[in-house]
Amino acid sequence: MAVINKDEIKKILCIKPRGIGDIVLSTIILDNLSAYFPSAKIDYLVESFAKESLENNPLVNKILTMEDKEFSLKTASRLRKEKYDLIFDLWSNPRSAQITFFSGAKYRVGYAYRGRKYAYNFLAPSSRGDHHSAEHNLELLKAIDTPVISKKIHYYVSEKSDEAAKSFIKENFSEEDFIIGIIPSGGWASKRCDASIWVNICESIFTSYKKIKYLILWGPGDEKDAGFIKEHLGKKSVLAPQTDVSSLSGLINNCKIIIANDSGPMHISAALGIPTLGLFGPTNPKMHGPYSLKSDYISKEDLFCIICNLQQCRYKHECFVDLPVESVLSKIGSLISKNNLPVTKK
């Protein structure tokens, strides 16, 4: 197996094409790479729609983009011109393996998945184990004996987005309001907590604590649920305008707590250091929950079909429909307590 001469590493590329949350979690490697290869510039390759997830990150030198249907060899040809010394394929699917193999990079690191080992000269274990998916990225660093000195994930809000968010908050909330952001988004239908349950959760918190007001955050595909929640919460809530990733992150950054389904925005919230409660059903919260000591998750762990990993529920969505609201309220109380948040009970 090849041995890396760290002094010759001047350009590093991290490949993580898609999944806003997955890309945010992959930034766990950045502090470690910067420390071990202090003279190297670190770039990222992502699909165009995901570029915003890395913009404003001071640890990333340049963001390269590709399209979903772009021919792999065309992408690899562009990478050859960049003359990367070291590539981390954080995705390691058949397409990214091919791109990595033809990139021209001397050192190529990826997971030992079947049919893809050919692409790499440094291999991380194919087994995911029982660690959080953020920490699975660290296996690639271990494959080249890079010390893990940090487990911090990174997301940065632009000054423009933060100023716009502060202006929106000032126009729609009072200084006394304790703002809880709720995010009913979810990439799968099965990940989305039912809108009626969201209303029950919000009403329970509202009746338990003083000065609560909700900010309903949403994006494309969330219109129906967001509208239903706003209609039923009325003046207890403010419906945000439709947002892109950048403006959404600005609004998240101005909330006291975020409650979210398993989604990219949930991971953005955790990376920003906002106390975040993840609502989980079909996915495993121990592997995909908000990666932050300030945060927590809730799941109906006694349900026979919990963590089914199915995009469509085969039953009646019991993981959310039967989720005890009092358990959610207890989790919120714990978040308030451990983060010393300025809100009092009624």
The CA-based angle 123-26-305, given to 5 degrees, is 90
- Spatial contact of 245 and 53, defined as CB atoms under 8 Å apart: yes
Domains with residue ranges and CATH for the chain: 6-142 (3.40.50.2000), 159-338 (3.40.50.2000)
Model confidence at 69: pLDDT above 60: yes
Q: Whole-model pTM?
A: 0.96
Residue from 86, 150, 92 nearest 117 by CA? 92
Confidence of residue 263 (pLDDT cuts 50, 70, 90): very high
Q: What is the mean pLDDT of residues 143-172?
A: 97
Residue from 248, 336, 252, 249 nearest 294 by CA? 336
Token couple for 33: 């790479």
- The per-residue pLDDT for 3 is 79
- The per-residue pLDDT for 201 is 98
- The per-residue pLDDT for 129 is 78
- 298 vs 286: CA distance, rounded Å: 10
For 110-194, where are the alpha helices, taking DSSP H only? 133-136, 138-142, 159-172
Model confidence at 1: pLDDT above 80: no
* Residue corresponding to tokens 């953020």: 134
- Spatial contact of 245 and 52, defined as CB atoms under 8 Å apart: yes
Confidence of residue 66 (pLDDT cuts 50, 70, 90): very high
CB atoms inside a 10 Å sphere around CB 124: 24
User: Helix (H, G, I), strand (E, B), or coil: what is residue 167?
Assistant: helix
Residue 253's alpha-carbon distances to 158, 165, 204, 269, in angstroms, are 11, 8, 24, 7
- The per-residue pLDDT for 249 is 97
Residue from 296, 293, 188, 185 nearest 245 by CA? 185
Residue from 257, 275, 274, 289 nearest 191 by CA? 289
Q: What is the mean pLDDT of residues 245-253?
A: 96
- Spatial contact of 260 and 279, defined as CB atoms under 8 Å apart: yes
- 71 vs 87: CA distance, rounded Å: 19
- Spatial contact of 293 and 273, defined as CB atoms under 8 Å apart: no
Residue from 282, 248, 281 nearest 267 by CA? 248
Q: pLDDT tens-digit profile of 106-138?
A: 999 999 999 999 999 999 998 887 889 999 999
Q: pLDDT tens-digit profile of 298-332?
A: 999 999 999 999 999 999 999 999 999 999 999 99
- CA-based torsion, 265, 134, 126, 60: positive or negative: positive
Q: pLDDT tens-digit profile of 31-50?
A: 999 999 999 999 999 999 99
For the chain, where are the alpha helices, taking DSSP H only? 20-26, 30-36, 72-82, 94-101, 133-136, 138-142, 159-172, 195-208, 223-233, 245-252, 264-271, 285-288, 318-321, 325-338
Mean pLDDT of the chain: 96
- The per-residue pLDDT for 251 is 98
Q: pLDDT tens-digit profile of 10-38?
A: 999 999 999 999 999 999 999 999 999 99
